[in-house]
Amino acid sequence: MGTPVTTGGDPYVLTADGIKEPPTGWRASMRYLGPGLIVSASIVGSGELIATTALGAEAGFALLWLVVLSTAVKVAVQAELARWTICTGNPALTGFNDVPPKIGRLGWINVLWTVMALSKLLQIGGIVGGVAVALSILIPVGGDPLGGTSLTAWTVIVVVGSIALLYSSGYRLVERGAFALVAVFSVVTVLIALGLPFTPFHYGTAELLTGLSLTIPAGALGAAIAMFGITGVGADEITFYTYWCVEKGYARWAGPPDGSAEWAARARGWIRVMYKDVLLSWLIYTFATLAFYIMGAAVLHPQGLVLDGNDMITTLSAMYTGVLGEWVAIAFLIGAVAVLGSTLWASIPSWSRMYTNLLAVLGWVDWDDPRSRQRSVRAFTVVLPVLWGATYLFVSEPVVMVQIGGTVTGIFLPAVVLATWYLRGKQVDRRLHGGTAFTVLLVASSVAIVALGIYTVLNVFGIGTG
């Protein structure tokens, strides 16, 4: 937040001249926060606006407890993997490749990551589609706003525009854009959700207590699993958060891990800054998630409105027009473009870095050469939006596309947990391990994630779980 403060030099190369003493306290730390804003931008788009609202529309208040669990349970794993990054200067896929066994040059976790990445063609393709639909309804091209001509034209515009805006893919641009895109729409949605009790779509304590009863309604299991995988920090956000921690400067400022007491003290200080960054982003996306879920449960569910196909945006707008009147439809569409666009804004540079890192561990890109790394990142900045847009035009089911990606992400989460524990034990200086309270939280988070991941796999393959 504030002015980016990364000094000159490659943030992925740890040298003595990059050392900076960490700030203490919240006020001094605020200007060093920011990677979590990029994570929040990614989360608030696909997870909150689409998957969470769809679940609220389908299940009503009954799964409110799962929303809270989904956003809270993964945070400790995110922070622990980022701790390893600050201690080593390495991004996630480099570490994942150290976890045995390997299949050729590729570690088994990176093999699973590749499967997840392929599923993201659907999920982020659905986001591209959501933006295109909203823009098409605002400004139809060739007649019917949901017709093939208009949707194709706007999909091409979204893809080309995203490439043009993000081609430089620098940290400052991504951080500032993410904050601007997500802030206003999330705040407005939270305020509307809080104001619903004073409208015809009111809810009260009884509904909220029902939502905390730890049950899953019949028929809602699939949507619930997808929501758990995609809301809060998913496996992809936990992974790409490490890249933004490096590029913000946390690892570079801690300095080369020479084992000295001075290095350990600096690293510990920058880990505390990272904790604050994680906490701030958790607050942002948790309140946004709850707001979107309550909107779906209180407004869409009683009317029997379900998010489906390209009508998704029209149905979502009913949440706002039903509360504030028809005049707000245009404002909603603009807001939908902003919040879904925030996911694209965060996803394009994040996935470009992860794909480049994958090529690096395969030996096809020199990760230590900034020019080679940047060329690859820019190539993926062009290729990925084109693939996502083409996938949407071929499938044209944004909600289903997002939910499939969420389910596969939920399956990959246990692998991230295992990698995090392996790297913690093998490559993190024991002096820098979290305290007892954090370790207890990490264990609880890990158990919950692995249990739900196993449950998800069993259900995907039709194996009864009792």
DSSP state of 233: S
* Distance of alpha carbon 201 from alpha carbon 197, whole angstroms: 7
Q: Encoding tokens for residue 315?
A: 């149905």
What amino acid occupies position 122? L
Name which of 99, 91, 90 is nearest 419 in CA terms: 99
Please answer whether residues 357 and 94 qualify as being in contact, where contact means their C-beta atoms are separated by less than 8 angstroms. Answer: yes
Q: Is 6 part of any domain? A: no
pLDDT in tens, 45-57: 655 666 677 777 7
Q: What is the 3-state secondary structure (H, E, C) of 393-424?
A: HHHCCHHHHHHHHHHHHHHHHHHHHHHHHHHH
> Which residues, in sequence order, are bridge partners of residue 103?
106
Name which of 423, 342, 388, 409 is nearest 121 in CA terms: 388
Q: Encoding tokens for residue 222?
A: 């699939």
Give Dmax (Cα) for the chain. Answer: 68
* Distance of alpha carbon 377 from alpha carbon 383, whole angstroms: 10
* Distance of alpha carbon 16 from alpha carbon 18, whole angstroms: 5
Q: Say whether 217 sits in a helix, a strand or coil.
A: coil
pLDDT in tens, 197-212: 777 777 878 878 877 7
User: What share of the chain in percent tops pLDDT 70?
Assistant: 81
Q: Is 303 part of any domain? A: yes
How remote is the C-alpha of 170 from its chain's centroid? 19
pLDDT for residue 97 is more than 90: yes
> Which residues, in sequence order, are bridge partners of residue 107?
102
Domain that holds residue 262: 16-460
- What mean pLDDT comes out for the span 240-269? 95
Predicted pLDDT of residue 2: 43
pLDDT in tens, 393-408: 888 776 677 667 767 7
Q: Is 7 part of any domain? A: no
pLDDT in tens, 217-233: 766 666 666 666 666 67
CATH number of residue 350's parent domain: 1.20.1740.10
Neighbours of 327 (CB within 10 A): 9
* Distance of alpha carbon 226 from alpha carbon 401, whole angstroms: 11
Q: Is 115 part of any domain? A: yes
* Distance of alpha carbon 178 from alpha carbon 350, whole angstroms: 12
Query: Using CA atoms in the order 193, 196, 201, 207, what is the torsion angle rounded to 10 degrees?
Result: 70
| Residue 311: Cβ-neighbour burial (10 angstroms; 0-12, 13-18, 19+) | middle
Predicted pLDDT of residue 384: 95
Name which of 131, 132, 96 is nearest 111 in CA terms: 96
Q: Is 466 part of any domain? A: no
How many structural domains is the chain composed of? Answer: 1
Predicted pLDDT of residue 230: 60
Q: Which residues of 2-40 are buried (b: 16+ CB within 10 A; e: fewer)?
A: eebebeeeebbebeeebbbebbeeeeebbebbbbbbbbb
Cis peptide before 11 (omega within 30 of 0): no
Residue 466: band (very low, low, confident or very high) from pLDDT cuts 50, 70, 90: very low
pLDDT in tens, 287-328: 878 887 887 788 777 777 666 655 656 666 665 565 556 556
Q: Is 239 part of any domain? A: yes
Q: Is 1 part of any domain? A: no
How remote is the C-alpha of 273 from its chain's centroid? 20
Q: Is 8 part of any domain? A: no
* Distance of alpha carbon 379 from alpha carbon 352, whole angstroms: 8
